[in-house]
């Protein structure tokens, strides 16, 4: 299994809706492989958490696994000091 970390330039990544639209546009354009499973966590200004699972292989356990893989990917990138 491989994971690709996509970096968003500081100018645009702070706008959540714009960033999500960019990801969707890139998926539609074939920039990224077809998404069979995705997990997305949003956190509001008061700490409220909303979680979304998506894709044809989406179920609770699969989404939890995707979250953990994403967490490990971010940790690896932070420890390596660059792209993973």
pLDDT over threshold 60, residue 9? no
Q: Does residue 5 lie within any of the structural domains?
A: no
Instruction: Say how many domains are in the chain.
Output: 1
Residue 55 belongs to what domain range? 10-80
Tokens 């420890």 locate to: 79
Whole-model pTM: value is 0.71
The overall average pLDDT reported for the chain is 87
Do residues 41 and 54 touch, judged by C-beta distance below 8 A?
Answer: no
The pair phi, psi for residue 76, each rounded to 5°, is -60, -45
Q: Take residue 73 and report the two structure tokens written for it.
A: 């990917």
Q: Does residue 66 lie within any of the structural domains?
A: yes
Q: Does residue 19 lie within any of the structural domains?
A: yes
pLDDT over threshold 80, residue 65? yes
């Amino acid at each position: 299994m491989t994971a690709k970390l996509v970096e968003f330039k500081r100018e645009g990544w702070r706008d959540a809706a714009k960033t999500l639209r960019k990801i969707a546009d890139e998926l539609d354009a074939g920039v990224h492989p077809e998404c069979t499973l995705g997990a997305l966590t949003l956190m509001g200004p008061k700490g409220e958490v909303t979680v979304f699972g998506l894709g044809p292989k989406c179920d609770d356990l699969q989404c939890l696994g995707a979250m953990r893989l994403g967490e490990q990917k971010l940790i690896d990138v932070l420890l390596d000091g660059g792209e993973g």
